[in-house]
């Protein structure tokens, strides 16, 4: 992202907006495939693709474990 500072700023802003959703609606993400039930993913759209936030929600607390671009494989 160092090649396009404006895109970097916009992507960070999009991720921050998406993460704020977790504060209000922590169960809003989809269940993460092949993981225990408390692991969830929140998809954050950005441009032609976006980001996926992997987090754990135990019914009371959401803990962000990873943020990856949708084109990346794995966490």
What is the distance between the alpha carbons of residues 42 and 45, in angstroms, rounded to a whole number?
10
pTM of the model: 0.84
Place of tokens 């160092």: 2
Closest CA to 45 of 72, 5, 18: 18
Residue 1 is predicted with a pLDDT of 44
- Residue 25's pLDDT is 94
- Per-10-residue mean pLDDT, the chain, length 75: 84 95 92 90 91 94 94 71
What local confidence, expressed as pLDDT, does residue 73 receive?
Answer: 61
């Amino acid at each position: 992202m160092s090649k396009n500072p404006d895109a970097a700023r916009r992507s960070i802003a999009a991720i921050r907006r998406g993460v704020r959703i977790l504060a209000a609606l922590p169960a809003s993400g989809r269940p993460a495939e092949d993981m225990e039930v408390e692991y969830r993913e929140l998809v954050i759209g950005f441009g032609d693709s976006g980001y996926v936030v992997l987090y754990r929600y135990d019914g009371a607390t959401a803990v962000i474990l990873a943020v990856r671009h949708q084109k990346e494989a794995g966490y």
